[in-house]
Chain A
Amino acid sequence: KNQVEQSPQSLIILEGKNCTLQCNYTVSPFSNLRWYKQDTGRGPVSLTIMTFSENTKSNGRYTATLDADTKQSSLHITASQLSDSASYICVVSATGGSYIPTFGRGTSLIVHP
């Protein structure tokens, strides 16, 4: 069964600090992996997408990495801001067949001033 596991479940950091969120998956055959940011009461917004051949993808202060061999991804947030407080969701899609992506449960990040 395709699964996406994220850790930690929640994280509290001080403004200006860096943090790294983890995503492990068992989706096969792998097509791509996305990271979404979901603000409270809003829909998810895509941050990055990576395919099998991509190791790193950046979007401003967000940098995602992918190790397709170990089936792990991370999202690194640099110099955190209060506006980074949100849930970060890892989504993995398989190739072929119906397009039914597998969503992780998300990591809830709180940035304190």
Chain B
Amino acid sequence: NAGVTQTPKFQVLKTGQSMTLQCAQDMNHEYMSWYRQDPGMGLRLIHYSVGAGITDQGEVPNGYNVSRSTTEDFPLRLLSAAPSQTSVYFCASSLSSGSSYEQYFGPGTRLTVT
């Protein structure tokens, strides 16, 4: 199993550009989520999904869109990039929703917005 994969690994955007961060998992996990990690702060939840066709907002959803058309994929879209969105983005998945299930994290995407 590849586990949780993310592409790209690095990305530089100009303010106002849009892009999609890709996330895929091959473990047949129901629950998937996106986090951002900023220096000096804990990971913060952006959006999550409890299954195909179901998504919900986390702590910091503004400026981001998600959709979940298949169990395997959970892309994160930046609609109009801003410098405040410079961060490292992690996708995670777990067998089911609920904190007792272990989350498996991807390797991250480092995004810089200039």
Contacts and interface: CB of A to CB of B under 8 A. Distances in A.
B48 to A, nearest CB: 7
A43 B59 contact: no
B51 interface: no
Nearest to B57: A98
Interface residues of B, number: 24
Given A41-B108, A98-B56, A99-B48, A46 B103 contact: yes
Nearest to B42: A103
Interface residues of A, number: 23
7 contacts: A41-B108, A42-B108, A45-B105, A51-B100, A93-B99, A99-B99, A100-B58
Interface of B: 4, 31, 40-45, 48, 56, 58-59, 90, 92, 97-100, 102-103, 105-108
